Structure 1
Amino acid sequence: MSRGQSYFITLIRNPSRQNNNTTQIRTLTLDSPSRSSSTEPNSDAHQALTSYTEMAKTVTTIIRERHRWQQTLVSDFPSFNFADPLFFRQMLTLQNNNNTNSNVMFSLWFFRWLCSTFDYKPDPVSLNLLFGALLDAKAVKAAKSFLDTTRFSPEATLLDRYVKCLCEDGLVEEGIKVYTLLKESGTVPTVPTCNAVLLGCLKVKKLDLFWELHKEMKEETEVVDLERIQCLIQALCDGGEVSEGYELLKKVLKQGLDPGHAVYSRLISGFCKIGNYACMSEILHTMIAWNHSPSIYTYQEIIKGLCKNQKQREAFSVFNSLKERGYAPDRVVYTTMIHGLCEMGWFGSARKLWFEMMEKGMRPNEFTYNVMIHAHLKRGEVVLARELYGEMLRNGFGETTVSCNTMITGFCSYGRADQAFEVFKKMSDIGVKPDAITYNALVQGFCKENKVEKGISLFKELKALGMKPSDRTYAALQKVRNLKMSESVAASLNEILEVA
């Protein structure tokens, strides 16, 4: 039984339910004067608070507008006690009313200035308040730096939010460390935080860790929400268990839950990659039935998958149906379809799409050009291929390894290895590095034309550069073994094939 399948049984026995007992995060604000430990009358405390509020407004304006605001504060207010914790909290409250990244950074700068200039010892309430404000503003790296420098222990609810922010910001390893510490302290992380940790594992492609953490989370709480289901289906697809992901989707839909557009698209992409178009079609229809219109990207995945699995006819049918239903294929979709049609030998239809794409204002990219150039060369239309290659360069696409390989493989496949070799020599002149594809194409091309000595020479060069010969290259060398050749060339060829 796969790791995914064991979850399905649990899901049926324990139907997903919403957790209404979500942990409430305590709002950290300035204590009311009426609850203050001060022995002064309430009216005096209120007056002090009002004075602090006005002063906080003034200080905030100075920090925002003055380049050297520190000197201004010291010179303009020499007798004011900036290090009073009550003032600092009032300052935070004022600045964080408009919860933006810039405001919270003003608060952080002011805090650092207090610590470096005055004998300021921040109290836990102020530290938690500033740390929470940094999390609210998604200033995760600043929050991490603040925590590292102050070395204070935030409230559990803030740590929970910190874990979520770390994972969402891509700092997954750090998030998992804090998540572990949080659990060791006896706090059960909230469901959204657990989901963020799991999603983070998927982002950094740590599937083993994903399943390990999911198992622990499942033992601690039976709550399974839609976000968790989305994570599970993605993990199953990433692990090559697309069919198990589809089974989970079916069970979720039977419970009346809709996991969202991204889940359908992910499963469609997964089935396209393994060539299971029956299931892909089922999911596509289910997606539409649940009022999710497939995006152009989803259709792009379908067309690309069909073309890769030699189903260009079906891909072309989907492409035309797409346009009939009002979708506007982009350059990527056009290029994918043009490539598929060229591979199938439907060059006329490919050229028609080429001109249709340009009529709609979409410039061909380098890949589109290379597809058409290669198709011209395969048809023996060398002049047209060269003209198109020149057009590509004039349109700002410089010569690259990919574009040179297109010309080389095209010439070699058409029986013009010498012309391919001219392109190869030009690569070093213009500073473009050949790769394994370059050498393999040339070796195969020369062997195809029975020019064994040139083929062997390039094969040795390929090996000397640490590149790997392809199976087709060895097959091409094996094919010319019985040809008449000099003893030295025959010896070299036999040595290559014996080692292989």
Structure 2
Amino acid sequence: MTASPSSIRSTIPNIVFLIRRNAKNPSLAWRLFKHLSSSSPSSALCPSSISAISRILARSNMLPELKHLHHLLLLHPSPSSPSSLTALALSSASFGLLDLSVSLLPSLRSLSPPPLSFYNSLIRSSLRFSRHDLVQIIYHDLLLSGGTPDVQSLNLLMHSLCDSSRLCDALKVFDKMSLKGCRPNEFTFGVLIRGYCRAGQAERALEVLMQMVSQGCRLNMVIYNTVIAGFCREGKVLEAEKLVERMREDGFYPNVVTFNARISGLCKAGMVLDAHRILRDMKEEGDNLGLPRPNQISYNLVLGGLCRLGLVEEGAILVEEMRRDGFFVKLESYNIWLSGLVRNGRLLEAMKVLEEMVTYGLEPNVYSYNIVIDGLSKQGMVLSARSVMILMKNRGILLDVVSYSSLLHGYCLKGMVQAATWLLHEMASNGCFPNVFTCNILLQSLWKEGRTWEAEMLLQKMNEKGYGLDIASCNIVIDGLGRCGKLDKAMEIVSGMWLHGSAALGELGNAFLGLVDDRNVSSKCFPDLITYSILINGLCKAGRLDEAKKKLLEMLGKNITPDAIIYDTFIHGFCKLGKISSAFKVLRDMEKKGCQPSTRTYNLLIWGLGRKNQISEMHDLIDEMCDKGVSLDAMTYNNLIQAFCEGGMISKAASLLNEMMKGGILPKLASFSLLIKAFCKVGEFDAAQGAFRTGLAICGEKEVLYSLFCHELCRYGKVLEAKELFQISFEKGFVVENFSYKYLIEELCKESRVDDAHSLLVAMINRGSVLDPAAFMPVIDALGRQGNKREADKLSAQMMDMAARHDDESYNIVSQHRSNIIGSKPHIHGTDGSMEDDWRTLLHKDDGSGIVMKVLKKVQKGWGQGSIPIARKHNVVLDDWESIG
């Protein structure tokens, strides 16, 4: 007997109730629904029941069950089937199962064309889940079903096109709206304005705003703020200010969002102090000037800007203000401050901030810890970074791939490849599987050390474990081959990459043949700008400039535009060979091609002229820099200082320091090092002492200045003065190993000052320094010649003890990793003072004089995954990965 419509209607609420009551147990809800649909399909397959069960299934991502539900609806057609299918599609879409929703469209269209609101809802869900590929399909289906898009449909389509960087297509839709009988509204203009601003075309966005006014659409605060923020992001602060004035004229008063846009723009343009002034006005004079009060974002923007400029002291003052005003309570603010401290080398303070967060009940997240781990690792303080990771584990925070990759990079920076390898194993054994970036860090270190076999083994394991080989992996291999003197093989692989992608690495040897499957053209690793930069750099360094030129022509033929780095590489290569005229031809060709020479470009040319002692030409080039608005930097002056020193014009070289400071350029350590060396060479030790003291006043109590001056004094016969300076350095707690103490001891013995050499050696031993045993020999020999056998024997015994302690630091690190992997208690602080040595080294990088610390590293840009220096070699065999991952 068929149930009456009234009985079906009374049953439906009961079915929906039963389904929803079991929502927390999707499997049970699904079994119940199937039972109900088999006994009463007409009531169970109605739109409200389908909506209830499909939402439960979609929330739990139960795709097979949802497909079965679709099949049930097709098996039991009824007048309500279109509505039920619509409910299934919308429920699936609301939880991101958009592919399933789109697959229902043909079924829906065959039964009854869905309403326009249904298509708009699907498109809206696609935008929410960034599935722009499906927006076009849904819109096309709307047209196939005979539906007419309304202004909302077209707005959503434009939104998708703008987010997909298809502004031209979005503009075409905009232009055709009136032809389709749809009048653009304020949302239409807002979508287009937002699209232009996100694409960095705020001027075009302003044109659309003016068009909006001309068509009688009402402006609002959101649109004004969008365009103002767009101008600020592009650094066009004046245009933003003009629009703010127009905004006031139209009766809209800037709110905190407007001011935050202005603050952000000023910070990005480097005008942080101006941004800080606006923040103060908002805080202190806001009511009097009619300004909005600052919010958390306002403070965070200025704090980040101060940190990026290295104004840490000013940042610390702002942090205290934020604390007083109740704005330093969010994790985001702490992370900005942590990042700023780490970026500026204030790692001890960063560690204190981590502790402070816990004290205040704000638990640092994995990002907070990763900031500190990364900073410590980049400074080579791997033991301290390791201790932070152990702290994370103890607090129940899972380490992620960034945590391990940062520490692995730190090991590679110190040349501790064996420790890095063990860390890779530990990472996988703890369930955090390395990605291709992590492996590339270790791969680069192996290639840079010339450990070709181990690098090849790692590449094989990467491929076997499915990590894949990306273009960075290929570039690392090509760079490694160049460093090993195998440039021809590197060029062979680059040529093969155009045909076979990363599979061209098979040409390294039989070990690679057939291992790399790169047949999918869309994912092939074709050579890029960095690939050719590496190749050209290697050829220029080898003096093969003609072949480098051919590679330049090849990349142009492949539509790869050379950048300033490639031109600079040619200039450096020609200058190195003394072909200055050829280097200048490259400069002029660079300008013709529209690639603007940088300060680095001119510095290379000035360096080349300095090598040939062409002083007047160097001055001419500096005049050209000034005429073209290219700023001079410390390296420019250092090149001049070096040329003057080598030409015997040391007083002129010294006068350049004043010229630098008048021009607002702070001399670097290299400037003072050059002068100290030059003055000592000609015997002007008082002048060298003056340069040394000035260097300390400007750069702070830097260990490198003490070490250099001590060595130069010793080198040119001022042994007693060198000993006195070394003792001062020793008392300051500088690392003895960074001084030429062996040379000093030997020179003291040569000048018959054995007692001085002996006392110096004993003082270092008593302080716990681990010395090179070779430093003992001159003193032992001298004591023996004096007949002081007792002291000589005592020193010989100490030398043997020191030899036993003079082991490689990385052995202890690897032992620690082995114990961690097998579950032994980790060794955090140790008893050998290694952790304390890390912090002592850090503390003496800056004397706390208030000068902003700058890390004096020459960064090589654009080569592989960064610059990892060649370090000590270890005999490491990569273990098999079969048991992990």
For Structure 1 versus Structure 2, the TM-score category normalised by the shorter chain is 0.5 to 0.7
Q: How far apart in 2 are the matches of 1:104 and 1:401?
A: 38
For residues 326 and 133 of structure 1, do their structure 2 counterparts lie closer, same or farther at Cα, with a shift above 3 Å needed? same
Q: TM-score, normalised by structure 2?
A: 0.35
Question: Is 2:246 aligned against 1:159?
Answer: no
Aligned to 1:331: 401
Alignment pair present for 1:467 and 2:592:
no
The alpha carbon displacement at 1:474 in A equals 9.1
Is 1:404 aligned with 2:478? yes
Letter in 2 for 1:347: V
Per mean C-alpha deviation after superposition, the further-off stretch among 375-384 and 182-191 is 375-384
Q: Given the alignment of the two structures, is residue 456 of structure 1 paired with residue 543 of structure 2, yes or no?
A: yes
Instruction: Name the counterpart of 2:264.
Output: 199
- Alignment of 1:426 onto 2:492: yes
| Matches of 2:376 and 2:214, distance apart in 1 | 56
The answer for the alignment partner of 2:55 in structure 1 is: none
Q: Which amino acid aligns with 1:426?
A: E
Provide closer, same or farther for how the CA distance between residues 195 and 371 of structure 1 changes in structure 2, counting only shifts above 3 A.
closer
Deviation per CA, 1:418-437: give whole Å up to 9, x if none: xx334433343234464555
Mean CA deviation greater in 192-201 or 266-275: 192-201
- Contact 1:303–1:315 at 8 Å: present in 2 too? yes
**Residue number in structure 2 paired with 1:300:** 370
Paired residue for 2:246?
181
> Structure 1 234/495 Cα, relative in aligned 2: closer, same or farther at 3 Å?
closer
Q: 2:348 aligns with which of 278, 291, 311?
A: 278
Distance (whole Å) between structure 2 residues aligned to residue 115 and residue 470 of structure 1: 57
CA distance in 1, matches of 2:196, 2:540: 56
What is the CA distance between 1:253 and its match in structure 2? 0.8
CA contact (8 A) 1:401 1:434 kept: yes
Q: CA deviation at 1:326?
A: 1.8
Matches within 5 A, 1:241-390: 241-258=311-328, 260-377=330-447, 381-390=451-460
Asked whether the 8 Å contact 2:376–2:384 carries over to 1, the reply is yes
Amino acid at match of 2:223: Y
Aligned pairs (5 A) from 1:124-163? 130-131=185-186, 140-141=194-195, 145=208, 148-149=211-212, 151-152=214-215, 159-163=220-224
Contact 2:539 2:545 in 1 (8 A): yes
Alignment of 1:479-498 (within 5 A): 497-498=611-612
5+ residue gaps in structure 2?
1-114, 121-140, 161-173, 198-204, 498-526, 553-565, 579-607, 614-638, 640-885
Structure 1 residue 442 displacement after superposition: 7.1
Q: Is the 8 A contact 2:267 2:302 kept in 1?
A: no
Q: CA deviation at 1:371?
A: 2.9
Q: Offset at 1:296?
A: 1.5
- 1:298–1:72 CA distance, 2 compared to 1 (3 A): closer
Q: 5+ residue gaps in structure 1? A: 1-58, 74-90, 106-110, 412-416, 445-454, 478-493
Contact 2:482/2:538 (8 A) holds in 1: yes
Post-superposition shift, 1:114? 9.8
- Change over 3 Å in CA distance of 1:152–1:379 after alignment to 2: closer
After superposition, give the CA deviation of every residue in 1:258-316 in whole Å (9 maximum; x if it has no partner). 35222211111111111111321232233333433222222222111112222222112
Give the Å deviation of 1:354: 0.6
Distance change (3 Å), C-alpha of 1:429 and 1:322: same
Q: Distance in 1 between matches of 2:159 and 2:463?
A: 49
Contact 2:539 2:547 in 1 (8 A): no
Provide closer, same or farther for how the CA distance between residues 195 and 380 of structure 1 changes in structure 2, counting only shifts above 3 A.
closer
Supply the AA of the counterpart residue of 2:469.
F
Q: Which moved more, 1:222-231 or 1:263-272?
A: 222-231
Assess if the C-alpha contact under 8 Å between 1:191 and 1:223 holds in 2.
yes
SS at match of 1:456: coil
- C-alpha displacement of 1:404: 2.0
Q: TM-score normalised to the size of structure 1?
A: 0.57
Q: Partner letter of residue 468 of structure 2?
A: G
Report the AA paired with residue 394 of structure 2.
E
Q: Given the alignment of the two structures, is residue 233 of structure 1 paired with residue 288 of structure 2, yes or no?
A: no
Letter of the 1:188 counterpart: Y
Count of aligned residue pairs for this structure pair: 373
Give the match for residue 52 of structure 1. Answer: none
- Which residue pairs with 1:45 in the alignment? none
Contact 1:366 1:392 in 2 (8 A): yes
How far apart in 2 are the matches of 1:363 and 1:470? 43
Amino acid at match of 1:164: N
Q: 1:185-238 deviations in whole A, cap 9, x for unaligned?
A: 564312233224433555687758756866886654373333322222122223
Cα gap change, 1:257/1:427 in structure 2, threshold over 3 Å: closer, same or farther? Answer: same
Per-residue displacement from partner, 1:74-118 (whole Å, max 9, x unpaired)? xxxxxxxxxxxxxxxxx99xx9xxxx968999xxxxx99996688
For 1:221, what is the secondary structure of its paired residue?
A: coil
CA RMSD between the two structures: 5.2
3-state SS of the aligned residue for 1:291?
coil
Q: Which amino acid aligns with 2:310?
A: G
Q: Distance in 2 between matches of 1:263 and 1:139?
A: 31
- 1:198 maps to a residue whose letter is I
* Contact 1:436–1:469 under 8 Å retained in 2: no
Q: Is the 8 A contact 1:303 1:337 kept in 2?
A: yes
Q: Using a 3 Å threshold, how does the CA distance of structure 1 residues 473 and 263 change in structure 2: closer, same or farther?
A: farther
User: Which deviates more from structure 2 when the two are superposed, residues 329-338 or residues 381-390?
Assistant: 381-390
The percentage of aligned residue pairs carrying the same residue is 19
Deviations 1:339-384 (A, max 9, x none): 2123334434322221122234544333333332344456664322
Given that 1:159 and 1:178 are in contact with CA atoms closer than 8 Å, whether structure 2 keeps it comes out as no
- Relative distance call for 1:303 and 1:61 in structure 2 (3 A) is closer
Change (3 A) 1:132 1:366: closer
Paired with 2:322 and 2:307, the residues of 1 have a C-alpha distance of 16
Which is greater in Rg?
2
Task: Write the letter of the residue equivalent to 1:199.
Answer: S
Q: How far apart are residue 250 of structure 1 and its match?
A: 1.1
After superposition, the Cα gap between the structure-2 partners of 1:302 and 1:211, relative to the gap in structure 1 and judged at 3 Å, is: same
Give 3-state SS (helix, strand or coil) of 2:544's partner: helix
**What amino acid is the match of 1:396?**
G
Cα distance in 1 for residues equivalent to 2:318 and 2:431 = 43
Separation in 2 of the partners of 1:103 and 1:468?
45
Cα deviation per residue 1:158-204 (whole Å; 9 max; x = unaligned)? 53232234466898568665423113456431223322443355568
Matched letter for residue 244 of structure 2: Y
